[in-house]
Amino acid sequence: MSASNPMRRLLLAGAVLAAGAGATLFWQHGQREANAVEPPIDDVCVVPPATRPSAHAYDPASGRGIHEARPIPTDARCAVCGMYPARFPRWAAQLIFADGAAHFFDSPVDLFMFLADPRRFGSTRDAGEGAARYVANFDDGRWLDAQTASFVLGSSIRGPMRGPDLPAFADAAAAQAFIARHGGRLLHFDEVDLAVVDGLRSANHAHHTH
């Protein structure tokens, strides 16, 4: 039974009401594989009025450099919407601060939203404190330096929030190959300006509490 089924929506709404205002965010997953082009087919997001996730501290025992991209903990929540970025390996992003602490995001859209206005999401840190920014390569999930990645805006592929997003690629050629299949236009990091971010925020988060 899909998330669009009226009975499913009714049951989920009842579960949220029964849990009350303190209910935790949860996702229900369909059968689509994690590396599929689009997210699981019947994921359902319930967003409560809760405190934003805190940054994950750097673990010196990890064997990784303090500003090196790291695997996303399965329990990590997106610092913008509260989703679980580890469940979206082709979309995820991370921001690592000078002290090695990291915020994780379910997609590039939320990374850019956070960079535009961290205080909006309860952060005590400024975007300028970020030492490294990474996005997942949409082709294979490996981490890319966000500032050298190529993004696609306006494609037909929906992101984790079921709206338009910014799939990222290692180079312009890979992005153009994606555009040939799914439409859209190429943007580099510096071209994802406030107008682009505001448009994507409105399309993806209008039904959320931020």
pLDDT in tens, 59-117: 999 999 999 999 999 999 999 988 999 999 999 999 999 999 999 999 999 999 999 98
Would you say residue 11 lies in a domain?
A: no
Number of domains in the chain: 1
Would you say residue 83 lies in a domain?
A: yes
Which residue range(s) make up the domain with 115? Answer: 51-205
Asked if residue 6 has pLDDT above 50, the reply is no
Would you say residue 82 lies in a domain?
A: yes
Would you say residue 177 lies in a domain?
A: yes
Asked if residue 14 has pLDDT above 70, the reply is no
Sign of the dihedral through C-alpha 182, 84, 207, 15: positive
Beta strands in 25-129, from DSSP E residues, in sequence order: 93-97, 102-105
- Dump pLDDT digits (tens) for 160-200: 988 899 999 999 999 999 999 999 999 999 999 999 988 88
Question: Average per-residue pLDDT in the chain?
Answer: 79
* This prediction's pTM: 0.76
Beta strands in the chain, from DSSP E residues, in sequence order: 93-97, 102-105, 130-136, 143-145, 150-153, 168-169, 185-188
Would you say residue 31 lies in a domain?
A: no
Compute φ and ψ for 145, nearest 5 degrees. Answer: -65, 120
More confident residue, 37 or 41: 37
Would you say residue 43 lies in a domain?
A: no
By the 8 A CB rule, do 158 and 189 touch?
Answer: no
Would you say residue 72 lies in a domain?
A: yes
Would you say residue 162 lies in a domain?
A: yes
Name the amino acid, one letter, at 206. A
By the 8 A CB rule, do 134 and 114 touch?
Answer: no
